[in-house]
């Protein structure tokens, strides 16, 4: 009899970001909520993605420990620091947990963990909160991990909200842990893509859909939101709305306001502002 796996999601709450580039009519910026997924068998477990700060990751460690499972592996879906800077904190509690990612993800990770990016981007935004030890993953050769006899497959997705992204597919339970290829009721980070590379992002969402998942966990989700496959189409629609409005507006403010009119309730409009600012003058 097959050993059914289970999964649970921990959402790290929004935390303040130190920055001057804030959206019109707001007084500050927060980072989007970040999700980490624990896939577990009877005894062992695999964690997919961490959070950013030491404090966030300590809370994540406490949640993993409360599961009573033996953490064997941490897997990173993509190379953005906000999804792997917590590995050292987690390995202090679970020293035998290996940290794995694909070779392509590791290439992005190495840049994110380099001194120019850590000192120029991450530390100014989260002063005193980033772990001084940033661990880069070992290569997941062959793209498949085993968890108590069940396969967890790393599926390459190419460019989504950054380069060289992946999702993790737990076929036996119909689960896709999508990383930042899908967003769940949170504004998308479009600042690293353009109209051309966003076609690759749409294709990545088509790839996830072709896996026919029954659940999809987004890398950034509203706490409590259901991990439904509907977020695949919701993410595609958001990208298409953004590109359509971007083609018909002159300034970041116009683009921002017209997107907000369609998406008044999504979490973290500050990210929409940065996406608009990446391609338009402020006003």
Closest-CA residue to 213 (of 145, 149, 155): 155
Segment interacting with Zn ion, rule: CB under 5 A, options 20-28, 86-94, 129-137, 176-184: 176-184
Which C-beta is closer to Zn ion: that of 114 or that of 214? 114
Residue from 31, 49, 82, 86 binding Zn ion (CB under 5 A): 82
Chain mean position to CA 263: 20
Spatial neighbors of 138 by CB under 8 A, at least 6 apart, are 98, 99, 100, 101
Contact pattern from residue 91 through residue 120 relative to Zn ion, giving x for each residue in contact according to CB under 5 A and a dash for the rest:
------------------------------
Write out the E strands in 115-186: 138-139, 144-147, 150-158, 165-170, 175-184
Spatial neighbors of 75 by CB under 8 A, at least 6 apart, are 46, 47, 48, 49, 100, 101, 140, 145, 152, 154, 168
- Using the 8-state DSSP alphabet, how is residue 13 labeled? P
Which C-beta is closer to Zn ion: that of 137 or that of 147? 137
- Using the 8-state DSSP alphabet, how is residue 191 labeled? T
- Using the 8-state DSSP alphabet, how is residue 58 labeled? H
**Smallest separation, CB 122 to Zn ion (Å):** 12
Secondary structure element (H or E) that encloses residue 91, with its range: helix 87-93
Segment interacting with Zn ion, rule: CB under 5 A, options 120-128, 177-185, 198-206, 249-257: 177-185
**By CB under 5 A, residue 180 contacts Zn ion:** yes
**Smallest separation, CB 96 to Zn ion (Å):** 27
**Smallest separation, CB 12 to Zn ion (Å):** 11
Burial of 208 (0-12, 13-18, 19+ CB in 10 A): buried
Q: Taking CB under 5 A as the criterion, which residues in 218-237 touch Zn ion?
A: 219
Separation of alpha carbons 264 and 117, rounded Å = 32
Contact pattern from residue 31 through residue 70 relative to Zn ion, giving x for each residue in contact according to CB under 5 A and a dash for the rest:
----------------------------------------
**Smallest separation, CB 82 to Zn ion (Å):** 5
**Smallest separation, CB 220 to Zn ion (Å):** 6
Given a contact cutoff of 8 angstroms between Cβ atoms, the answer to whether 85 and 134 are in contact is yes
**Smallest separation, CB 29 to Zn ion (Å):** 15
Residue from 69, 80, 198, 236 binding Zn ion (CB under 5 A): 80
Separation of alpha carbons 283 and 47, rounded Å = 43
Closest-CA residue to 181 (of 196, 170, 193): 193
Q: Taking CB under 5 A as the criterion, which residues in 200-219 touch Zn ion?
A: 219
**Smallest separation, CB 81 to Zn ion (Å):** 9
**Smallest separation, CB 159 to Zn ion (Å):** 14
Q: Residue holding tokens 């590995």? A: 87
Segment interacting with Zn ion, rule: CB under 5 A, options 15-23, 73-81, 118-126, 132-140: 73-81
Which C-beta is closer to Zn ion: that of 117 or that of 173? 117
Which C-beta is closer to Zn ion: that of 40 or that of 82? 82
Site of interaction with Zn ion (CB under 5 A): 80, 82, 180, 219
């Amino acid at each position: 009899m097959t050993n059914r796996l289970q999964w649970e999601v921990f959402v790290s709450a929004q935390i303040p970001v130190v920055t001057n580039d804030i959206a019109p009519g707001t007084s500050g910026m927060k980072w989007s909520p970040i999700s980490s997924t624990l896939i577990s068998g009877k005894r062992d477990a695999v964690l997919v993605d961490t959070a950013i700060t030491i404090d966030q990751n300590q809370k994540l460690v406490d949640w993993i420990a409360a599961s009573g499972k033996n953490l064997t592996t941490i897997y990173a879906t993509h190379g953005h620091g906000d999804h792997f800077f917590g590995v050292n904190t987690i390995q202090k509690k679970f020293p035998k947990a290996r940290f794995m990612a694909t070779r392509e993800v590791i290439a992005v990770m190495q840049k994110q963990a380099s001194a120019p990016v850590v000192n120029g981007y991450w530390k100014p935004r989260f002063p005193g909160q980033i772990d001084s030890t940033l661990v880069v993953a070992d290569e997941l050769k062959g793209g498949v991990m085993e968890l108590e006899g069940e396969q967890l497959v790393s599926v390459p997705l190419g460019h989504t909200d950054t380069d060289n992204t992946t999702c993790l597919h737990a076929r036996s339970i119909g689960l896709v842990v999508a990383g930042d290829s899908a967003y769940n009721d949170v504004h998308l980070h479009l600042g690293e893509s353009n109209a051309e590379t966003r076609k690759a992002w749409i294709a990545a969402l088509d790839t996830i859909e072709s896996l026919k998942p029954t659940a999809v966990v987004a890398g950034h989700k509203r706490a409590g939101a259901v991990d439904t496959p509907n977020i695949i189409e919701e993410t595609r629609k958001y990208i298409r709305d953004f590109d359509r409005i971007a083609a018909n507006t002159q300034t970041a403010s116009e683009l921002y306001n017209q997107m907000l009119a369609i998406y008044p309730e999504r979490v973290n409009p500050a990210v929409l502002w940065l996406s608009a600012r990446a391609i338009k003058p402020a006003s």
